[in-house]
Amino acid sequence: MARENVDLNTVVIEMRNIVKRFGNFTANDGIMLKVHKGEIHAILGENGAGKSTLMNQLYGLLKPTSGDIIVNGKKVDMNNPKDAINAGIGMVHQHFMLVQPFSVTENIVLGMEPVKGMTVDMKTARQNVVDISEKYGLAIDPDAKIEDISVGMQQRVEILKALYRGADVLILDEPTSSLTPAEITELIQIMHNLTKDGKSIILITHKLKEIKESADFCTIIRRGKYIQTVDVDECSEDDLASMMVGRKVTFKVDKPKQKAGEVILDVKDLHGVDYRGVEILKGLDLQVRAGEIVGVAGIDGNGQTEMVEIITGLRKATKGEVIVNGVNVMNKSPRFGFENGVSSIPADRQKHGLVLDFSVEDNLILQNFKEGEFSKNGILNRKAIKDFATKSIEKYDIRPENCEERPAGTLSGGNQQKVIIAREVQNDKDLLIAVNPTRGLDVGAIEYVHKYIVEQRNKGKAVLLVSFELDEIMSLSDDIAVIFDGKIVDRLPGNEADENTLGLMMAGGKKDE
C-alpha cells in the first residue's frame, strides 16, 4: 500500500505518450508517467533505457518529439529549465552541472544570489548554504572550490543546489551513486521529510534496495518503452530486477578459491595531502598479490581518493613508496604507471576516464593508439580500431548498438562506464584498480562488471577495489582492508566480514569490540 502522505487524488506530474527521437534513434517510445502529491516515484530501467532522456524533457533540457507534459492539471511546454523551475520542478542531474572553478556556495546560489544594494551579498549566501546543509545533514565546506572536492562532495552540492531552490517536484537522477551507506540512509530520511511537507520526488536509481526503502510506486522502462507501473510494497527486489532486464538476474558472485601469488602492488608508509594541503594519508601500508581482489572499505574522506590518485600518478605523495612489479611508480606520470602494469577505472568517469568529445572507438584505444595493431608509422589504422570497438561494444553490451563513431559524451552514464571498463580490462595489465566500478549501473550491468573483475583475478591479475558499496566489497573481495584516518587500520578475509563489523571498523572501532 502507498504511504499515508501520498494524495492519490492530486496528480502533480503526468507525462502522456512521450516520444523522443534523435535522428533514426528512438530514445523514448510512448512513455507514460503519473506522479501524485507527496509521492516518491522511482523510475527503473537498464543503462540507456531512456530514463534520463525522459526527465530531461520534464526539466526543459530537451523537447519531446511528440506527447504531452501536464503539471498540476495544465498542459505545459517546457522550452528550457527556467520554465520547469517556474512550474515548481527542480532536478539533480546524474552528471554534475557545476562550475568547476567556482566555490560550493557560488554553485548552490547561482542564479538565485542574495543581493545587498547593487552587489551580491556573499556573506548572506554563505550563511544560507551553511543553514540548509545543516538542516538536511549534508555537511560540506562552503568555501571549497568544486574542482578540488571529491565526487561524493560534488554530489552533495548538486543535492543542496536543488533543495536550496525549494521545488515542489524534485527529480533526483542517481543521487546516491557516490554516497556512503550512512549518507544514503540520511538522504532517504530527507526525502521522506520532504514528502511529508507535500513535495513529490521522482527518483532515478539502479539500487533496488533504495527503491524498496524509499519509493511508493515504480515505473519500469525497458529499451525506451514503457513496461508498467507497480506498487513497490507489492514487489520484491528480484521482481523489480526481472521486470527491468526482462530475465532473471543472479546476484551471487561466482568466485572459485585460489591461492594468491607474488606481490604486485606494495604501498609503503604512504603520506599525502588533500586539496587544502592538510595531511590525509598518514603512513598507509597496503599489499595486493597476483590472483586476489583486495577491497578497500572506508567512509569517503579518509584518504582512499588520495591513495588511488597517488598510485595512478594523478597526485604527488609527500613520503613513501608505491612499488608495482618491483618498480617505484610514486610521483611518476600516469603513463609511466601504465607502462609498468597499472590500469584503472577512475572514480570520475567524465573527468578522468573519458574524452567526452572523442568517439567511443577512440576512447577504447586511448592508451594503446601507438601500438602496432592500431597504427603504423604514426598513421592510425581506422579499420583495426573500428573492428576492435565493434567487438568491445558487443562483448561489454555497450548501448546503443553501432555507437562506434558516436561521441562518448552522448552515451548514458552507465554506458560511458562500460566503455571505460571494456578498455581497462582489455588493457590486460598486472594491476587493475577499480574505484566504484558499478557506480550508476543497473543490476544486469553490475552482474557483467563483477564477472569481468573476477575474471581478471582468476587470470592471475592483482585487483584493488575501492567502493562505497559494502555489498560489493564483501561479495567480490578475497581480503578487505579498512581505511580510517589515512591508514589501513585492519585487514580481514572477505568471507569473514559482515556489514556491522565493517561499519564499526570504518568508524575507527576494532573488529573484536
Closest CA to 419 of 352, 363, 359: 363
Q: What's the pTM?
A: 0.72
Beta pairing, strands 375-376 & 379-380: antiparallel
DSSP letters spanning 288-303: EETT-EEEEE--TTSS
- Write down the pLDDT at residue 1: 42
**The three cell numbers locating residue 23:** 535522428
pLDDT of residue 386: 96
**Domains defined for the chain, CATH in brackets:** 2-245 (3.40.50.300), 255-341+431-513 (3.40.50.300), 346-428 (no CATH)
Question: In the prediction, which pLDDT does 512 show?
Answer: 66
Tell me what the mean pLDDT of segment 196-203 comes to: 90
Backbone angles phi, psi at 26, to 5 degrees: -100, 110
Decide if pLDDT at 2 tops 60. Answer: no
Residue 60: left (phi > 0), alpha (psi -120 to 50), or beta? Answer: left
Closest CA to 340 of 326, 320, 352, 353: 326
Q: What is the pLDDT of residue 180?
A: 63
- Which amino acid belongs to residue 481? A
- Give residues with Cβ within 8 angstroms of 445, minimum separation 6: 46, 47, 397, 414, 417, 418, 438
Phi first, then psi: what are they for 267, rounded to 5°? -100, 125
* pLDDT, tens digit, 9 for 90 and up, residues 267-304: 999 999 988 889 999 999 999 999 999 999 998 889 99
Q: What is the pLDDT of residue 251?
A: 65
pLDDT, position 513: 61
**104 vs 162, 218, 300, CA distance in Å?**
13, 33, 18
Tens of pLDDT, residue by residue over 161-175, are 887 887 889 999 888
In whole numbers, what is the pLDDT of the chain averaged over residues? Answer: 90
Residues in the chain: 513
**DSSP track, 32-67:** EEEEEET-EEEEEE-TTSSHHHHHHHHTTSS--SEE
Quote the pLDDT of residue 178: 62
State how far the Cα of 487 lies from the Cα of 482, in Å rounded to an integer: 8
Amino acid (1-letter code) at residue 148: D
- Cα distance between residue 254 and residue 194, in whole Å: 41
